[in-house]
Chains A and B, each alone.
Chain A
Amino acid sequence: MKKQRSLFKSIGLGLGILLVLVVYAYGFQVTQVDFAETSSEVRLTQLSRILRALAHPDIIEFEQEETIAKTPIYLPCPEGGLELPEVDTSEPYLVTDVACAESKENVIVEGYHLPSGSKGPIHFLTASGANLQLGNFVVAGDGTFRESVRMPTRQPVAEAQYIRATARVPVGAPMLTDTAIVTWDKIVETVFLALLATTFGTLLAIPISFLAARNLMSEIKYSLTSVALTILGWPLGIGLGLLLTRWLAMLSEKLSANSLLTAVSMVIIPLLAYALFRWILPLLGQKQPGVFVRISRLFVYLLIAASGIIFLQLLAQSALTVGQALIEPLGPLGFLGGFIAQLGDVLNISLPVVVALAGGAVVGSPMSALGQRISDRYAARFVKIINIVLSAAAGALLFILIGAAINWFYQINDLYKVLLIPGGVGALLGILLAVRTDPKDLMPLGSTIYMITRTILNAIRSVEPLIMVIVFAVWVGIGPFAGVLALGLHTIAALAKLYSEQVESIMPGPLEAVQATGANRLQTIVFAVVPQIVPPYISFTMYRWDINVRMSTIIGFAGGGGIGFLLMQNINLLNYRAASTQMLAIAVVVASMDYISSSLRKRLV
C-alpha cells in the first residue's frame, strides 16, 4: 500500500516536472528567445557603437581651434597620367601613398605640421561637395599622423577630389552643450511634474481613504427611511447648489465688471457676513428654538453662505485679472503672476463643485436625520408604508442617474430606454427591498459606500498612468499638465488604498475610548484615528513621491511632458549621445530624490 502510493507520487512528480518544462519551452517559443542573436557580429558592432555613444554623454564642449589640411586624390585613376600640384611644406599638409585609387581601396594618409595633441576626422570631399567621414586621427608629439583609410564607393569622376583632415584643439573653459541645457530645463519640469502630481494626489487621497476603510465605514448604518431620503436629498441639494452658484455668478460678474465696485464689495461683503453672524450668535444657543427663530436662522445661514460664495467668486475673478496683469511687469518672476491667475482659475472651476457637494450635504444630512427620526418614532406599519414610497422613489432616481450615465457613453437617446425602464426597474427594486426588510432594520450604508469606493479605486489603479496620459493629452493637450493629471489620478487611487489599509489597522482601543466620551463621528476620526495614521501616511506619501519621480521621467513617452519626450525623440533620431545625457540626468535625479526622501523619512517618522 505504502509502496504504491510512493510510486504514484513519483509518477506525479515526473509529470509535474514535465509540465514545468513544457511551460518554459512554450515560453521560449512565445518570447522568441534567440541566444545566437546576442553574439552575431553585426549586432555586436551596432551594440558597441551605441554603448560607446552612451558612454559619451553630450554634456560639455570646448571652443575649438581648427587646422585644416587637404590633398587631392583621383578616384579612379585617370587615363593619360595625372598632374600633381606642388605641396607647400611650410604649412600643415597631407600626403597620400598613392595619388589615385579605386573605390574600396585602402590608402595611407600622412599629415605633417599639425598642432601636436590635436585630433579630428578625416573626410573625403566628393566632387559634388559632400563630406564622407573616412576615419579619425590623433596627432603625435612631432605634429604628424599616419592613418590607413578605405576609399568610399563612388561613381567615377574625372577631376581631382580631396581628402581633408580637420585637426581640432580645445581652447578656453569647458561649456555646457545645448543638449545639456535643454536637458536641465526638462529635468526641472520633470521634478515639478512629480511634485504637483504627488501633492494633488495626496490631498484628494486622504479624504477618500476614510471612505475606503472598512472599520470606519461598517459602523455607518441607517434605517431604510433615512437611506432613501439621503439618496433623494443629495442630488436635490447638488442641483440646488449648482443653481445657486450659477445665479450668484451672474451677480458677481456684474460686480466684477467694475474694478472699484469689486474692491468695495470685497470689503463690504465679509463685514456684512460677520455682522450677520454676530447677530445670529445669541440665537444659536437656544435650546428649544421657536419656528420663527428657526426660519430666520436658516435664512441668515443662507445669506451668509451666499455672500461667502459671491466673495469667493469675486476673489477668483480679481486673482485672474491681477495675476495676468502682473506677468508683464514682474519680468523673470512673471510665473508668480501666472500662478496667481491659475489659482483664481482653480477657485473658479472648483467653486461650483464644492458648493454643489456642500448643497448635497446641507440638504442630504437633515433629510437623513429626518428619516432616522421617522423610523425611530413611528409605528412599524406606518414606517413600512413610508419606506415603500420613499425607497421606490430613491431606487428610481438612482437607476435613472445610472441610465443617464450609460446614455452619455452610448448615446442611446431613447426616452423610453434611458428614463422609463431604469426608473421602473429601480422603483420595483426599491419596493422589493422595503417589503422584504423589517421597517426598522439598519441598512449597511457605510459598507455599500466602502465597496463602491474600493471598486472604483481598484479600477483606476489597474490602468497605468502611461495609458491614462493618452486620454489627458487629448483633453488638455500634449505637455506636462497632462502628465500631472494622469500621475495625480493614479496617485489618488494608489495612495487611497494604501492609506485606507493603514486606517483599518489602527488600534481599536483609543477609538473605543473616544467614542465612549460621546464624541461624534468626525471628532472620533480627528482625535482617535488621525494621530495614529500620521506616520504611515507620511511614509506612504514619500514612497509615492519616489514612484512619481520615476514615472514622470517616462510619462513623456506617451505625451505627458517632462524629460521623457526629449529622450524618446533622441532615441528615435539615433542621437545616442544626447539620449545618454538625458538618461544620466534621470539617474542622478531619481537617485538624489530617493536619498532625500529616505533621509526625510528617517527624520519625520
Chain B
Amino acid sequence: MLEVRNLTKIYDGGVLALDNVSFSVEQGEFLAVIGLSGSGKSTLLRCINRLVEPTEGQILWNGVDITAASQDELLRIRRKIGMVFQHFNLVTRSKVITNVLAGRLGYVNTGRSMVNRFPKSDIDMALKQMDRVDITDQAYKRADELSGGQQQRVGIARAMVQEPEMILADEPVASLDPVLAHSIMQHLDQINKEDGATVLCSLHFLDLVHQYADRAIALNDGLLMFDGAPEAIDDEKFKEIYGKEAERVG
C-alpha cells in the first residue's frame, strides 16, 4: 500500500512541479499516470524513490514514511523499488549483464561489487530475468550495441533483479515504436501479474492505459485532475486533463 499525502515539489528557481497531490495505490495494482509533458509525472515518480527531494508532504509505503527516511534507510527502500526510464538509462559502455547486475547493488557487499564480483546466486538470477525478457543472447554484448527495444528490456531486467515490490516506469515506451511499446508493456504487465509488484507507469497513449492499467491518475500543471478507472475518462475529462484544444488520437 502506497499513500501519497499532500505532496508538493518546488524546484530551485520557484517552478511548482507538484501541487498538493494526494492519492493511494493498493499493493499489486497497475496504476497509469497520465498528463501532458511537463505536467509533473516524472517529478511525481522520482519523489517516490526520492531521486527528487519533495518539498512538502509525505509518502507512506507499507507504513514507512519514505520522505523521513535517513540515508541508509532510503537505500534499503530504494532497492525494493525498481525503476524503468524513457531513455533506458543504461551504462552504454558496460556489458548487458553488468547493467542488469547493477540492480543487485543494494543487496551485495560494497567491497565485492567494486571489483565486479557478484555472488553466483545473483548472476543466476540476472540470467533468469534476462531470459524472461528474452535478451539472454545479448548478455555479453555492450549495451550500446543493442536496439532500442532490447535496451529497454535490459532496463526492465535491471529493475526485475531488484526483486521489487514496486516498479516506477517513467514513460517506458515513449521512445519506442507501437509494436515494441506493446511488448514492453506486456513485460511490465507480467511483473505486475506474476510477481505481484505494484506498477506506477506514466503513459502518453490512452489505448495503452485502457489495455494495461487497473486505474489511472491524471496530472495537469502539478495538480491531480483525475483519479479513477481508465474507462471513466470521457471526452469531458479528457479535455480537462489535456486542455481544450486537445484531440484524441487512438
Tell me, rounded to whole Å, the shortest Cβ–Cβ distance linking B167 to chain A. 11
Assess whether B103 is in contact with A517, with CB atoms less than 8 Å apart: yes
Q: B79 — which chain A residues lie within 8 A by C-beta?
A: 517-518
Given contacts A372-B71, A519-B102, are A513 and B114 in contact (CB under 8 A)? no
Tell me, rounded to whole Å, the shortest Cβ–Cβ distance linking B74 to chain A. 8
Given contacts A514-B102, A518-B75, A518-B105, are A526 and B113 in contact (CB under 8 A)? yes
Cα distance A373–B168 when bound, in Å? 29
Pick from B51, B72, B77, B105: contact of A523, CB under 8 Å: B105
Q: B114 — which chain A residues lie within 8 A by C-beta?
A: 522-523, 526
Q: A532 — which chain B residues lie within 8 A by C-beta?
A: 91, 93
Cα distance A362–B103 when bound, in Å? 28
Q: Which residue of B lies closest to A509 (CB)?
A: B89
Assess whether B89 is in contact with A510, with CB atoms less than 8 Å apart: yes
Q: A531 — which chain B residues lie within 8 A by C-beta?
A: 91, 93-94
A347 at the interface (CB under 8 A from B): no
Q: A515 — which chain B residues lie within 8 A by C-beta?
A: 51, 78
A528 at the interface (CB under 8 A from B): yes
Tell me, rounded to whole Å, the shortest Cβ–Cβ distance linking B122 to chain A. 12
Q: A535 — which chain B residues lie within 8 A by C-beta?
A: 93
A61 at the interface (CB under 8 A from B): no
Assess whether B93 is in contact with A513, with CB atoms less than 8 Å apart: no
Q: Which residue of B lies closest to A515 (CB)?
A: B51
Given contacts A509-B89, A522-B114, A532-B91, are A516 and B51 in contact (CB under 8 A)? yes
Q: B51 — which chain A residues lie within 8 A by C-beta?
A: 512, 515-516
Q: A369 — which chain B residues lie within 8 A by C-beta?
A: 72
Given contacts A509-B85, A510-B90, are A516 and B49 in contact (CB under 8 A)? yes
Q: Which residue of A lies closest to B104 (CB)?
A: A517
B106 at the interface (CB under 8 A from A): yes
Cα distance A550–B106 when bound, in Å? 47
Interface residues of B in 58-86 (CB under 8 A from A): 70-72, 75-83, 85
Chain A interface residue count, CB cutoff 8 Å, equals: 24
Given contacts A514-B91, A518-B75, are A527 and B102 in contact (CB under 8 A)? yes
Interface residues of B in 117-174 (CB under 8 A from A): 155, 158, 162, 168
A520 at the interface (CB under 8 A from B): yes
Given contacts A523-B105, A523-B110, are A516 and B91 in contact (CB under 8 A)? no
Assess whether B105 is in contact with A514, with CB atoms less than 8 Å apart: yes
Q: A527 — which chain B residues lie within 8 A by C-beta?
A: 91, 94, 98, 102, 105, 113
Cα distance A523–B90 when bound, in Å? 15
What 0/1 readout, one digit per residue, does chain A (358-374) give for beta carbons within 8 Å of chain B?
00000000000100110
Q: B104 — which chain A residues lie within 8 A by C-beta?
A: 517
Assess whether A516 is in contact with B83, with CB atoms less than 8 Å apart: yes
B87 at the interface (CB under 8 A from A): yes
Cα distance A289–B94 when bound, in Å? 38
A97 at the interface (CB under 8 A from B): no
A376 at the interface (CB under 8 A from B): yes
Given contacts A509-B85, A523-B113, are A517 and B102 in contact (CB under 8 A)? yes
Tell me, rounded to whole Å, the shortest Cβ–Cβ distance linking A375 to chain B. 10
Q: Which residue of B lies closest to A534 (CB)?
A: B93
Q: B92 — which chain A residues lie within 8 A by C-beta?
A: 510
Cα distance A518–B113 when bound, in Å? 13
Q: B94 — which chain A residues lie within 8 A by C-beta?
A: 527, 531
Q: B89 — which chain A residues lie within 8 A by C-beta?
A: 509-510, 512-513
Cα distance A566–B110 when bound, in Å? 52
Cα distance A510–B71 when bound, in Å? 20
Given contacts A518-B76, A532-B93, are A373 and B83 in contact (CB under 8 A)? no
Assess whether A510 is in contact with B91, with CB atoms less than 8 Å apart: yes
- Interface-central residue, A372, A515, A516, A531, by most chain B CB under 10 Å: A516
Cα distance A369–B158 when bound, in Å? 30
Assess whether B70 is in contact with A509, with CB atoms less than 8 Å apart: no
Assess whether A518 is in contact with B110, with CB atoms less than 8 Å apart: no
Tell me, rounded to whole Å, the shortest Cβ–Cβ distance linking B125 to chain A. 14
Tell me, rounded to whole Å, the shortest Cβ–Cβ distance linking B115 to chain A. 9
Pick from B71, B78, B87, B90: contact of A517, CB under 8 Å: B78
What 0/1 readout, one digit per residue, does chain A (516-550) give for beta carbons within 8 Å of chain B?
11111011001110011011000000000000000
Q: B162 — which chain A residues lie within 8 A by C-beta?
A: 517-518
Cα distance A267–B15 when bound, in Å? 65
Q: Which residue of B lies closest to A369 (CB)?
A: B72
Cα distance A517–B100 when bound, in Å? 11
Cα distance A527–B158 when bound, in Å? 13
Cα distance A534–B94 when bound, in Å? 11
Interface residues of A in 558-593 (CB under 8 A from B): none
Pick from A372, A509, A520, A528: contact of B75, CB under 8 Å: A520
Tell me, rounded to whole Å, the shortest Cβ–Cβ distance linking B223 to chain A. 25
Cα distance A510–B80 when bound, in Å? 18
- Interface-central residue, B93, B98, B102, B110, by most chain A CB under 10 Å: B102
- Interface-central residue, A372, A512, A518, A519, by most chain B CB under 10 Å: A518
Interface residues of A (CB under 8 A from B): 369, 372-373, 376, 509-510, 512-520, 522-523, 526-528, 531-532, 534-535
- A selection of 8 A-B contacts at a CB cut-off of 8 Å is A517-B79, A519-B106, A520-B75, A520-B105, A523-B105, A528-B102, A531-B91, A531-B94
Known: A514-B91, A517-B106, A518-B76. 15 other contacts (CB 8 A): A509-B88, A512-B89, A513-B83, A513-B90, A516-B83, A517-B82, A517-B103, A517-B162, A520-B75, A522-B110, A523-B105, A523-B110, A526-B113, A528-B102, A532-B93
Give the top 3 A-B pairs by smallest Cβ distance, nearest first: A518-B106, A518-B79, A519-B105
